[in-house]
Amino acid sequence: MTDYGIKISKIGASIDSTNIDDYIFLSSSSVHATAMIVNPPAGGTATVPSSSYVDVSISHNLNYIPTSILYTEPTPGSGRWYMGVSNYGSDEDTYISPNVAYTYCDDTYLKFRIINNTASQKIVSYYYFILGESGI
């Protein structure tokens, strides 16, 4: 039995019991799968030419579509980091495309398009998490 998660034991039963019948709720058996970070926070940079875009492709090879979280700093050194697509609610001229043809996660890759609508080249920093199933 796992040593993490949520455990609620029955009155008189030990919280350390290995008998599933001793629990009212046991998260490791009550859900199909729990999330875990498949990769540690990872990231990089992408050089985006002026008035152009760059497609970034990150391999995860999980053979299913995981949940992913992406953060970008569209203006280098600004300290303004945005989660996901950043052209909503930001004044940045460089952003992640919201078009699902260019920004998505499939069973092999996390892909996103960085669009630069400025007259100068940008080096955009990003980092991401890929969350997968840890099983039961």
Q: Which domain holds residue 17?
A: 1-30
Task: Grade residue 114 by pLDDT with cuts at 50, 70 and 90.
Answer: very high
Instruction: At 108, list the tokens.
Output: 């092999």
The arithmetic mean of pLDDT across residues 90-95, rounded, is 78
Q: How far is the CA of 50 from the CAs of 103, 108, 122, in angstroms? A: 20, 30, 7
Judgement on whether residues 44 and 1 belong to the same structural domain of the protein: no
Judgement on whether residues 55 and 94 belong to the same structural domain of the protein: yes
pTM assigned to the model? 0.65
The answer to whether 48 and 114 are in contact (CB under 8 A) is: yes
Judgement on whether residues 56 and 97 belong to the same structural domain of the protein: yes
Judgement on whether residues 105 and 70 belong to the same structural domain of the protein: yes
Mean of pLDDT over the chain: 78
Judgement on whether residues 20 and 41 belong to the same structural domain of the protein: no
Judgement on whether residues 40 and 69 belong to the same structural domain of the protein: yes
